[in-house]
Amino acid sequence: MTRFALAPEAEAGGFRLEGHHMVGSTNKMALERAASGDPGNLWICALKQESGRGRRGRVWETPAGNLAATLLVVARFEPKLAATLGFVAGLSLVDALAEIAPDAGVEIAADGGSDGGGTRFALKWPNDVLGEGGKLSGIGLESSVLPDGRFAVAVGIGVNVLAHPDNTPYPATSLRALAVEASAEDVFLALSGAWARNSRDWDNGRGLGRIRDRWLQRAAGLGGEVAVRLDEKVLRGHFETIDEDCRFVIRLPDGSRTSIAAGDVHFGAVASAAAS
């Protein structure tokens, strides 16, 4: 038996939970549940994931003791709106981590490092959470259209609790490396409560503006130098904002602005080294 449990706000909101020690992919399990008629609002959690997929098809494994969690959302909305659930997820995880580790204050600077004040955890567009400048969590969305026309979205959240990978394109970290004493079950408990609150604010997209504003308050690299890799092309400039559809807005050297729906983002010195 695992010790995964829902926060009181999540239970009151009608969310349900499946807890596992080890799975292949929590996202795959969630979409299978949807295909079998599950109505959604189902969390599937595991302490180890062996065959998950990250952004752009990258392998997403979760070593034992880390958190792999997926929320199944089933509703009638446009795919473009479904994509904004990643921002709800990132904001919810930052809220949860601030609850677990309230004492530490480290702000993420424009170069992805830290400058000594503010909040310890920050959001990196589109779907990463940073801890003191290192990647602490990745968020991956997968979806399918159900026979009745509804949309099923698996919102996958992986958190480096006890371990983090080495030799990654972007520096990684874990809660243990940040001296935060918490288990995967602790993180999930706080996350489920934060999601219940933020999803009410999101309100099937009607409150996306509120989510966007709060996301920007926690955004890593805002106003700083940035490089965005788009397949074989790299755009360089400054991170201006995210627009009303949560696309990344970059101000180019000539002063013009462009909005990006998908790409790999690198800040400051990392931009020159990793996105060249």
241 and 117 both lie in a single domain: no
**83 has pLDDT over 60:** yes
Q: Among 140, 114, 116, 136, which Cα is nearest to 60's?
A: 140
pLDDT value at residue 116: 32
The range of the structural domain enclosing residue 249 comes to 225-274
CATH number at residue 71: 3.30.930.10
The amino acid at 234: V
CATH number at residue 241: 2.30.30.100
pLDDT value at residue 61: 60
pLDDT value at residue 79: 81
Per residue in 177-196, pLDDT (tens digit) is 999 999 999 999 999 999 99
58 and 103 both lie in a single domain: yes
Per residue in 208-244, pLDDT (tens digit) is 999 999 999 999 999 999 999 988 889 999 999 999 9
198 and 231 both lie in a single domain: no
State the burial class of residue 55 (Cβ atoms within 10 Å of its Cβ: 0-12, 13-18, 19+). Answer: middle
Instruction: Dig out the tokens for 179 from the structure.
Output: 């001296």
Whole-angstrom distance, CA of residue 174 vs CA of residue 198: 24
Q: 141 CB contacts (<8 Å, ≥6 apart)?
A: 82, 83, 85, 86, 127, 153, 154, 155, 156
115 and 245 both lie in a single domain: no
The whole model's pTM is what? 0.89
pLDDT value at residue 185: 97
State the burial class of residue 163 (Cβ atoms within 10 Å of its Cβ: 0-12, 13-18, 19+). Answer: middle
pLDDT value at residue 275: 47
Residue 57 lies in a domain: yes
Q: How many domains does the chain have?
A: 2
Angle at CA of residue 37, ends 33 and 39, nearest 5°: 85
Whole-angstrom distance, CA of residue 8 vs CA of residue 98: 18
Is 78 or 188 the better-scoring residue by pLDDT? 188
Residue 1 lies in a domain: no
pLDDT value at residue 170: 78
Per residue in 239-269, pLDDT (tens digit) is 999 999 999 999 999 999 999 998 899 886 5
Whole-angstrom distance, CA of residue 56 vs CA of residue 264: 10
Per residue in 18-77, pLDDT (tens digit) is 999 999 999 999 999 999 999 999 999 999 987 655 554 555 566 789 999 999 999 988
